[in-house]
Amino acid sequence: MYPNLGYRPDHLVLMEQIWPYAAEKNLPVMTHCSRGGPRGKNLTKEALDGLTAPSCWVHLLDKFPGLRVCLAHLGGAEEWERYFGDGWQPSQPNERKSWIAEILDIICSGKHSNFYSDISYTVFRF
Interval 98-114: pLDDT, tens: 888 889 889 999 999 99
DSSP state, residue 35: S
**Does residue 122 lie in a domain region?**
no
Domain interval for residue 78: 3-117
- Whether 64 maps to a domain, the answer reads yes
Q: What is the pLDDT of residue 12?
A: 94
With contact defined as beta carbons under 8 Å apart, do 109 and 54 qualify? Answer: no
CA dihedral 60, 65, 68, 69 (to 10 degrees): 30
Q: Which helix (H) or strand (E) is 13 found in, with range?
A: helix 12-13
Asked whether residue 126 is domain-assigned, the answer is: no
- Domains held by the chain: number: 1
Within a domain: residue 55?
yes
pLDDT at residue number 27: 96
Per the domain annotation, does 124 fall within a domain?
A: no
Residue that wins the pLDDT comparison between 55 and 94? 55
Q: What's the pTM value of the predicted model, to 2 decimals?
A: 0.82
The helix or strand, by DSSP H or E, that contains position 114, with its residue range, turns out to be none
Backbone conformation region of residue 63, classed left if phi is above 0, alpha if psi is from -120 to 50, else beta: alpha
* pLDDT per position as a tens digit, 16-48: 999 999 999 999 999 988 877 788 888 888 888
Residue 123 maps to a domain: no
The total number of residues shown for the chain amounts to: 126
**61 in a domain, yes or no?**
yes
